[in-house]
Structure 1
């Protein structure tokens, strides 16, 4: 500490602030370096700690396919990798920051990206004038311990050591004004002192030597005055303050006694001053040491004064001895006044140091508050960035989902357009095939049919009945069904010609269309129906296509309209005689058409004069399928249009129940009487409307009455009812179902009891809607499901569940 000014004004020069930089890495030695720096410097007054970490520059990004330059990857991938590196760095520095926090020491963390660690540390340390650098020794380094190297020759010895470790290279490249400490296993391994410390030590030694020399020359002058050599005396050599000047220079010539005693006292005082003058400790220790020294000097002077006076009064009698004693006493009094002045200086220094310490503590507290505020703002900014990133990801996923939906819709629309174009083309081909200048049907050769069916391959067989086998084929670029009849008689028999004549002349939307024939081989070519027969869709359990109830209403009306057309044909009505689900075919749109109209149909006679009675024809040969044959026809042999009404009633009951025809009317009647009608309905058809379905089942039972007279008229009674049911079916087919299927349980939020919009996983492992769980966590610290305390309030988005919910919503009708 340097004293400035005169005896009336003393100004203290405060020491500059100290910056301690601790360079850390992932190695264990960095932990020892931080602990050593805290133990060494955190109690030395105004100290600013900086935690320095140098990491390599990010130039490449690792991927499963190898490392790629950061300019070669997408921006989001590069940003994600940088965030990961930043997170790892923060996690690595967290234990070191915790060591400072536990000691209640404020520390500034510096993370530098550089390829050269030594250059980066040197450049950072050069920013602070009064600084010290603490580093951990690298494993395997062999630096000379400090206790084996004298301080005076350390700088020369440090230059001679050539270590290849990074700690040695850092010491060599660090600026000379910075002291470098190398810590190994928690102990000081080596130190490279700064130039300021080295020069200060040399200057202090030379200053002491010069002071001693000046003291000797001063007292050589006093010895020559009286011609006596008393040796060198350094009592006044260190004092240049005007308050220490003697009262008269002529008194120096009579000093001949007590020089040795005064020398010892002066030396003690000078030693006390030198301790106070050259101390650099800013916490007031120099002041306390100066006060202690001054008090010791006062005690010594008083003791010496009384003892000396008593001895001289008893032994010295001459006047010269008295003058010499008085001079010595005056000199001691002057030194005592100077010591008291030094005591006052020490007190002022203590007060100033205390004030500065209070100011520094206040500034430190303010800086800590500002740092905490900055940290909170940083956390808020990170949270805001996280939420924005999540919103961006959700919007991106939603856009991707909408794009996929648009692609699916476009694909479906394209497929529908393709089907419409194909249907239009097939219709044109049908019309071309039906146009014949000489005959009402197109003739095909046997060779064409054999070639189209691949010689009647079993792979192309689509049906087989009592009258023939049906094959799928392509004739004149038209997909068709070829029916090869098994006739033992001549192909030109009455039955074959009858079917050929009837089917080639009549046209109805719900009658199977005849495209052509090969009369020579008894082959009939019909249009191809993609969905097969009604029997396959109703009675086969392996059927993948279930028919909704409103489609079944429509099919019943289509069959009835086709039967009415046959029964009212001119010049003579036609009775089908073999109506059953196996002869009702469905196209790709589930439109029904009746097949086998001609072969199993017997034309009745001309109606009688009384037109109110239906035409009746007597036939002794049984034609048809058991369970669908009119019971009255079986008993009397009389056949009429009411015979088809009975078979139609059986078809209606099968449309409702999807059960075999054997004893079906009895089962349905029993269910109606027992109040279990809804239980026998086909559940695959969906939710049947009770009122309309009950009306249809009653109509089916009326049609299936045993007597023809009890059966309703097809045109006057049956068709109007089916017309009304068809209109209800059309409305149901174009409107969404009234009851939506319930969502899966894991789609429901436990708090809202509704389908989640933005599912998030909480710390208890359960998934909640984000808004609801955030409101819950603001007021509660426990799980809403288990009522146990939550370890944290972090929320993680459940992307897989969100994707499943969005897919479920897209499939809702």
Structure 2
């Protein structure tokens, strides 16, 4: 293998010491396949593989144009080569030639692997395309393979690509193959004879030369006038170099298509004549060539015009495509801007809703504060009005206090005598209570039975403890019982014993604790044993007891309302519990409520004026559970010290709110009222109760807030109607509601059914709001109503009332 290096600078051989060189005077055969290779062997490998498959050649010539970089990299950046010092330029050139050497060795390796003998033409040029054209012209290359874009002939601008430049400037005798990614894109065939390779001089005799003229084809097929001119110039130069004295040319007819060998004649005159004839014919051929050249020039002009027209059309298409792409990009930007605007709009709406919610909360707080202010003003007026009464009755109260103190001393002396004698009878207890010699309806147990049931009141059997006594679990012949033992040394405990013994001996109700008997000697009461403890224990989940679900809590509210209605409706005296709280509400084995703790109750005769107390408490009720205080006494009772039935209603309302929320009572009504006003009731509900029905929880919360009103006059009375409405809340959830009882608009049970013109029955308020809002079509059929008249459906109302009045099923 030999390396062809025309027009290289002197340092190139030193940069490629491992490559053998070739005599620069030698030329590669022009019929060999020449391949123009670039600086990337990876991209050019497919071009070489295509050449080896296409020509099945054993020898190939590689053409590489080396471009010297115009800038030199330094620590301060790139500098132009003409401004850098010679040492930097020389060092950088050595690096460039080293990279070129590595690249050429890789090309050689590719050829060797394909069993092809390579030769290399390495030239230096400022532009790659001009270097390729110079090599083709210098070495008269007839077969050239080079890479090109698949659509270079349509899309590239004139002179903007290497392939276009090469196609326009390479002589037409060179056949060119354009290949892209291992596939032939286009091929330009040769349409001119290479005289440099076909015309040669051979010596025949000493001092004589023979002109072997090549076959000259018809000149009319040349499209390029320059090519015709090149052919004519070549013939002229060849003819001018002939020694006419030593050679003769045979006459050539006008129709001859080639030059024949000239015959030698001994006569000098004949040779001169033949030469003149030949010159005349040569002039004719030149004229014909000029004519053909002019025709070719005209054809070329037309071709160039068509080419420029097609280029202009392509540029217009390209401009339209660019405009379309810009429009698509602009549309995408607009869509992105629209999406961002929508997101910003949604964010602003969310901020607006949040601000509105905060404003509503602030307005609700203002309403609450205003309500409190009016209440304070009202209380101030009441206090001012009653202050005069208090001042006027101070003397009477002092006299009454003296009488009470006298009675208290007398009771204390009597109790002391009883303790000394250790004999207490039921009649004496009745006398203590103040009801004469009325007999009590309970069984009296001797002290020995209680000792036997509790093993001498052992702490092992103690299940509870209060401020005035302890509760023990005992075992008697009838089963388990609860024994409440009051302290002998506590006057308050003695009064609780008397109150509970009297009230529970006279009263029987499914939701009041059952008094089995009493032991006056031990100041002890015997109750039925309730295994599930108190409501207080269940709400705080003492000992990890399971929580109560919402159905059980609703049922308990109904049961408590029935028990309070029974106490407040008793005759001849109305019973006011006075200490209603979760600690005094007991649960049996089926989790039904039983109200106890009647030690602070009061009996109010039906004909006695409101506020007069027949039995008076010495001190108010106290809670013994500091960690979870389930007592929130009536504020009005704390202010006036007068116990009424509305005090029980207040305590019942607190219990209702506790069952809904599972929270302590202090400040509970204010918290629930704030949640209702801000439509956030679900945030304060007890999640352990499960999913509350919205209609049930809404009505129970409203009822609880009414019961806990600061003004007792605004609290509801516990009447049979109120209790029945509470029962309906529970029964509606326990049994399915007939679909005919539900309003099609509200999907709730109807209390005022009315028939519209479409024949359907709706809740009166709902259909009236529908019509008032401009609805002239049927809510069910979406058809226009014939009229807007409404007719009450009395039959359906009676059926709904009968269904609601059915008794509560346990």
- TM-score interval w.r.t. the shorter chain? 0.3 to 0.5
Give the TM-score normalised by the residue count of structure 2: 0.34
Rg larger for: 2
